[in-house]
Structures are given as C-alpha cells and as structure tokens.
Amino acid sequence: MTIQFRPAEKSKARLRIALVAPSGYGKTFSALRLATGLGGRIAILDTENSSADLYADKFKYDVLTMNPPYDPSKYLMAIEAAEQGGYQTLIIDSLSHAWSGSGGLLDKQGVLADKGGNSWAAWRTITPEQNQLMERILSANLHIIATMRTKTDWVVEGGKPVKVGLAPI
C-alpha cells in the first residue's frame, strides 16, 4: 500500500458544530444564524415539537419533523436525505433525543437489559448504533450543526452530592 498526501482543499472542509445549552437558551436560533453565515441551502431535522418553524420569518430553510421513537436509524436517514437533497448545512435540533428521548439509545438499552437481566451486556448492542450515528455525522458531505440539551451535573464529595455545572445530554 502506497501512502500519499494530497494538497489541502478548502472546499472539502465540512464543519461539525455542537451547541449545548438548557432549553430556551437560543440553540436553534444560533444554529440558524451560523448556517446562514455558511451560505447555501439549510435543512433542519426538528425533534423539538416543530419549534424550528418559529424562525421561518427570519431565515430561509426547510424542515423535517421527527416524532418518537427517536431511533438513531431515523437520524441516519435524515442525514442521507439532506445530502441527496443538495443542502449545504443540516441542523440536527436536537441530537439529545437520539440518546435520551423516547426510543433513543438509553430506552433501547433499558429494554435489552430488562430482557437479558444484564445492563452491561446490553451496551454491546447499543454502542455500535451510537458509533454508527457519530461516524455518519462526521463523514457527511455537508456542514452539520447539532444542538444538545443540558442537564445539571453532580459529583459526590465527602459523601454529599455537589452541583458542578452543566453536562450535555
């Protein structure tokens, strides 16, 4: 096998941006501003009860509404549809549902664990699905801006729970 470098081409670069904040902090609006700045056609995968439509008077974009179950395979199909549709940017609003939404990875892990009685073994099935989604996001031939909700993050210090900030879901 021959290893050969090629000259860098700016046109081949695709952005991967994650916007992380609590509900109501402007993730969708910020994603639309970023996408507009990048130029080209914008698509939004909306898992937030049609909240993306709130900005139709301020930005030009197309919306695909996703309802439960939030199976990662549905996200994969949406990425494929955005590529085939000729969009330059896909906003995934919100990626959190693929993890913790109804029918998301945590739900699927729980169902498998309940059937087999071993929650650790259930991750053997779930982790490849998560990896496949992440790999597809990274390899997509368009810019992807993903929004993620946050939760309060805690640690136990001296036997007492201590709030340490926010963590993405």
pLDDT score of 154: 83
Residue with tokens 């402007």: 26
Inter-residue contact 72 to 129 (CB < 8 Å) = yes
pLDDT, average across residues 78-105: 96
- Summarize the confidence of residues 118-131 as an average pLDDT: 89
CA–CA separation, 129 vs 117, rounded Å?
20
* Residue positions counted in the chain: 169
Mean pLDDT, rounded, for 15-38: 95
Does the pLDDT at position 163 exceed 90? no
Mean local confidence (pLDDT), 106-123: 86
145, 31 contact by CB (below 8 A): yes
Residue 58 burial by Cβ neighbours in a 10 Å radius (0-12, 13-18, 19+) = exposed
**Mean pLDDT value across the chain:** 92
Q: Which pTM was predicted?
A: 0.86
Domains of the chain (ranges, CATH numbers): 15-168 (3.40.50)
